[in-house]
Structure 1
Amino acid sequence: MNPQRSNRRQALGWLAAGAAFLGRPQLAHAAPWAPTGNITYNIGVAPGGSVDLYARGIKNALDTLKLVGGHTVLPLNKPGAAGLLVLQAMQKARGDAHNLSTFHTGSIAGQVTGVLKADLREFVPVAMMVEETTLVAVAADSPLRSATEIVDKLRQSPESLKIAVAPLRGLNLHLAIAKPLKLAGVDVSRLTVVPFRSSGESVTAVMGGHVDVVIATGPTVTPLAQSGKLRMLASCDPVRGKGPLAEVPTWRELGIAADYVSYNGVLLPPGVDAEQIRFWENALRQVAQSADWRQLVEKSGNKPIFKGYVDSHRYLQSELKDTQELVASLGAGAR
């Protein structure tokens, strides 16, 4: 995609645009933008995981709350190439805000590790909607009784347990398990990491005994734990959760200060203008405030939030830097 110099110019331009965007009176003369047709919500994963769940939850809220002028939001799953297929579709839709996609910490991790052959700084993150809890779980009948037992076993033999992640090595779920294990003295370069197309598939594999441990976000793990099919052994959050997560210890509580928090939101194509950004920021703020959306997120064990365009852009920049440092320290790139 664009060379590094172009990315630096665009980042500076985004910061300037963000300042202007906050100064709303400067745009008072511009005609408000609104959709003139149906919206395509491009989802870069297979159905069954949290990314798909939240994209469809946002789609449903936009439709139900009538926030897109009577038009329809059409979800379109395009799994493959760590999300590159979706970003290529978004590139082709340059300047057309009738296209949405997911803005996710996993894509940032993929860019840093080289799994995702794209530069997210070319796109426009317009909102962050969910703070995700990442959980370590095993099958209900697993002989592994605690996260401490997993750590002890992997210290002795890093290859001895099959650890399921989705959709690929080198993304956020891989980093979320590698970080505490590395800090606990495990040689993470020797782990047996087994990738699946979606977290739905990875939890199915652990329940079937094909892998020993799964790491996935709350929406995938929590319902299965509540039904007695999985046991949750550790949370990557800095503090213990509520509801069904109240009994799940954090890595920090287990003596391993290795928090890892992921965020999920909405991405727009390159080249959209300030009025298009404003429309979607306002619409998504209303989604974030709706009772049905908050219930969907909280039921899954995650935290509903709302951060708009400027904060989302700042997060993208800071998370790229932080993830570069984390990957360098872990040696956890894709392979």
Structure 2
Amino acid sequence: MTFRETLIYVSAACMLVTASAAWAGSRTPITALSVPECLAPAKPGGGMDLTCKLIQKGMLLPTTLTVSQKNAVPPIAIRTTYLPGGIGAVAWNAIVTQRSGEAQTLVAFSGGSLMNLAQGKYGRASPANVRWVAAVGADYGMIAVRSDSPFKNLRDLMQALKDNPSKVTIGAAGTVGSQDWLKISLLARKRHIDPKTLRFVALEGGGESFTALRAGHVQAVSGDASEAMLHAADNEIRILAVLSDNRLPGALANVPTAREQGIDVSWPIIRGVYMGPHVSDADYHRWINVFDQMMATPEFDRLRTEGGLFPFSLTGKALTEYVKKTVYQYGQQANAMGLVR
């Protein structure tokens, strides 16, 4: 961002935060620190970053009012910050124990976060420890290599893993048991390959995985389709397969599914945000109203599509019930595979 662009953004933020503070009924002084924050629990360039950036753009859209005028909210300037560590555990613990009442802080999460929660990777935690605000879209798993890789399709990669798994390093966000680990492990099992023989490199988020792939530190990446779209524009990355039931529309329309290549594996992913457990009911429901209005606009549908995500919108109670059910199901799956701590 240039200096001039920075000045423009800061000026806009100052005006918008004044309006948003009035909307929120804030009694605190209006300062730069009052700007709402979307906290990405990973390094820049991955799916968590994408989630925050999508919300950041969406909150600046002029909303098409679907509720009474008294409930309408103005555009809101949101800043994206990063708190990587422990595949989301650092951010989770910070919000639960140190920042539990911050009404201006939203934290990005994904299906991988729910998987980690189910496996006890956030310690003695449960979905009830935070307040689930909104799911803003769905994503799908994918497998990618560098464009100069000898692996031209998913079958080539699976054959190499079967012939000599120690020769192929696979970058994945998180450790054994993470959703990226499970994606490639499920594919391997379908080809009668023991996942324990695969060479995994545990990385902190999708952005770091693709950085490692570009640098040649890993030969393949197990990640998400939206992350791949961020890194495939310059043709240095080849996406071998998407883990969806059918081909995805848009920029990845020419990428075959794993099923098309003879391996019946699908992996959908939810993306959204949560808040601290001690945020007041009033502030929590105000944010739900904001997301309901934002996601009802065709402009947000366009932004979501451009970000490589697909329609999936839940807020408040409906999202909370979905999260509880999903974490339970992931826990059952992890227990069956011996992954629960």
TM-score (norm 2): 0.79
C-alpha distance in 2 between matches for 1:328 and 1:158: 26
Q: Deviations over 1:35-73 (max 9, x none)?
A: 525323222111111211221221333245498667753
Instruction: State the Cα distance separating 1:102 from its structure 2 match.
Output: 1.4
C-alpha distance in 2 between matches for 1:56 and 1:83: 17
Contact 1:35 1:69 in 2 (8 A): no
The equivalent of 1:316 in structure 2 is 323
Identify the range of structure 1 (183-192 vs 320-329) with the bigger mean alpha-carbon deviation.
320-329
Q: Deviations over 1:143-194 (max 9, x none)?
A: 0111112222222333331111124443222222222222331111221111
Q: Is 1:232 paired with 2:229?
A: no
The equivalent of 1:172 in structure 2 is 179
- Percent identical pairs in the alignment equals 25
Change beyond 3 A, Cα 1:114–1:327: same
SS state at 1:127 partner: strand
Change beyond 3 A, Cα 1:207–1:35: farther
Q: Is 1:77 paired with 2:82?
A: yes
Amino acid at match of 1:197: E
Instruction: State the Cα distance separating 1:140 from its structure 2 match.
Output: 0.5
Change beyond 3 A, Cα 1:253–1:99: same
Instruction: State the Cα distance separating 1:234 from its structure 2 match.
Output: 0.9
Q: Is 1:197 paired with 2:188?
A: no
TM-score (norm 1): 0.81
Q: Is 1:98 paired with 2:104?
A: yes
SS state at 2:305 partner: helix
Q: Any unmatched runs of 5+ in structure 1?
A: 1-32
The equivalent of 1:271 in structure 2 is 278
Instruction: State the Cα distance separating 1:258 from its structure 2 match.
Output: 2.0
Change beyond 3 A, Cα 1:306–1:71: closer
2:143 to 101, 126, 136: 136
Change beyond 3 A, Cα 1:64–1:167: farther
Identify the range of structure 1 (213-222 vs 110-119) with the bigger mean alpha-carbon deviation.
110-119
Change beyond 3 A, Cα 1:248–1:70: closer
C-alpha distance in 1 between matches for 2:76 and 2:233: 37
The equivalent of 2:302 in structure 1 is 295
Contact 1:134 1:215 in 2 (8 A): yes
C-alpha distance in 2 between matches for 1:193 and 1:173: 10
Q: Note the 1:1-335 alignment, pairs <5 A.
A: 34=24, 36=26, 37-65=34-62, 72-91=77-96, 92-117=98-123, 118-331=125-338
Contact 2:180 2:223 in 1 (8 A): yes
C-alpha distance in 2 between matches for 1:220 and 1:94: 29
Instruction: State the Cα distance separating 1:236 from its structure 2 match.
Output: 1.1
Q: Deviations over 1:258-278 (max 9, x none)?
A: 211111111021134443332
SS state at 2:261 partner: coil
SS state at 2:313 partner: strand
Amino acid at match of 2:110: H
Aligned-CA RMSD value: 2.6
The runs of 4+ residues in structure 1 deviating greater than 6 Å are none
Change beyond 3 A, Cα 1:257–1:39: same
Instruction: State the Cα distance separating 1:329 from its structure 2 match.
Output: 4.3
C-alpha distance in 1 between matches for 2:336 and 2:254: 31
The equivalent of 2:7 in structure 1 is none
Q: Deviations over 1:89-127 (max 9, x none)?
A: 322333442221113211111123343324333111121
The equivalent of 1:18 in structure 2 is none
Change beyond 3 A, Cα 1:192–1:34: same
The equivalent of 2:18 in structure 1 is none
Instruction: State the Cα distance separating 1:215 from its structure 2 match.
Output: 1.8
SS state at 1:133 partner: strand
SS state at 1:159 partner: helix
Q: Any unmatched runs of 5+ in structure 2?
A: 1-22, 27-33, 64-71
